[in-house]
Amino acid sequence: MFELSLLCPEDRVETLSDALDALDALSVSVEDADAQTDAEQALFGEPGMPPPKDGWQRSRMLALFATESLALEARTLLTAQDFFADCRILGLAPVPEQDWVRLTQSQFDPVEITPEFWIVPTWHEPPAQARQIIRLDPGLAFGTGTHPTTRMCLRWIARHGLAGQRVLDYGCGSGILAIGAAKYGAADVDAVDIDEAAVQSTVLNAQANGVTLRSGLPDQASGTYQTVLANILATPLKVLAPLLCARVAPGGSLVLAGILERQAEELQAAYAPHARLVVADREDGWILMTAVL
């Protein structure tokens, strides 16, 4: 592949993008030509700054072509156009071949939950000390074990154990918490989400990990559970307070994540009519809150 780079003023970006697309560019990206200099411009507004701009005063455009001949043809045709006035070609260069799959995979290593519990992508061997693993690759749904909220929920599961319990994972994403619950002994697991892609992701990930659970939309949840897990965000967690608490069996546990440390008091206030939330874990500015009902 070959990359053609161009410099153009703000008012030519759209025209050049359309032209490059018509000339069979595989992709076109735009960046601030003055980035990392005193002339760098913030594209999006910040407090005390002027309103957001539509583009940079000077843009560097990078167009990727499948062959050198296509890139050369594009360069020749563009420079002959009237709209190319005030624009210029910066260069044309081959793009080194990359094993993009291997490059992507190299960014995801096994994730330690506890010294004996790990999240391991399928292309890695489990660490020698792992006694319990979840096989999970990056996908469309949230939850690969790399985010502090996910790790704290899984740590709670590992430390408490869920032997024989009925468990609900509300807002299941990739299904990682539901799978963790099943791995740590839960006898009956429901994993629900408003996103059908997450439901399907959970089904596939459960199969890959050899665990049995039910996954569906939120109306699939029924009755009460000994443990209810919800790793979402503070605002929906506040709205869902009556619903989630109603799903917890007497003496059961409610486990909430997706909460910043500064949001602890507002969550406690929202749940006060139903349960007494306490902070059970902290990591990188996030907290895990739990209650026994």
Contact in structure between 56 and 43 (CB atoms under 8 Å)? yes
Going by C-alpha positions, the residue among 228, 243, 233 that lies closest to residue 263 is 233
107-292 matches 2-97 in CATH topology: no
DSSP conformational letter for 237? H
Give me the residue spans of the domains in the chain. 2-97, 107-292
205 marked ligand binding residue = no
User: Domain 2-97 has what CATH class?
Assistant: alpha beta
231 marked ligand binding residue = yes
Structure confidence at residue 144 (pLDDT): 65
Per-residue pLDDT of the chain (293 residues; tens, 9 = 90+): 899 999 999 888 999 999 999 999 999 999 887 665 554 454 444 444 444 445 567 889 999 999 999 999 999 999 999 999 999 999 999 987 765 555 555 567 888 999 999 999 888 888 999 999 999 876 544 556 678 999 999 999 999 989 999 999 999 999 999 999 999 999 999 999 999 989 999 999 999 999 999 999 999 999 999 999 999 999 999 999 999 999 999 999 999 999 999 999 999 999 999 999 999 999 999 999 999 99
Structure confidence at residue 48 (pLDDT): 45
Going by C-alpha positions, the residue among 3, 126, 2, 122 that lies closest to residue 61 is 3
Structure confidence at residue 105 (pLDDT): 55
Structure confidence at residue 7 (pLDDT): 93
Structure confidence at residue 1 (pLDDT): 87
What contacts 218, CB < 8 A, 6 or more positions away? 170, 192, 193, 194
Going by C-alpha positions, the residue among 269, 215, 225 that lies closest to residue 245 is 225
193 marked ligand binding residue = yes
The residues facing 120 across adjacent strands are 135
CATH 3.40.50.150 fits 107-292, yes or no: yes
Whole-angstrom Cα Rg for the chain: 25
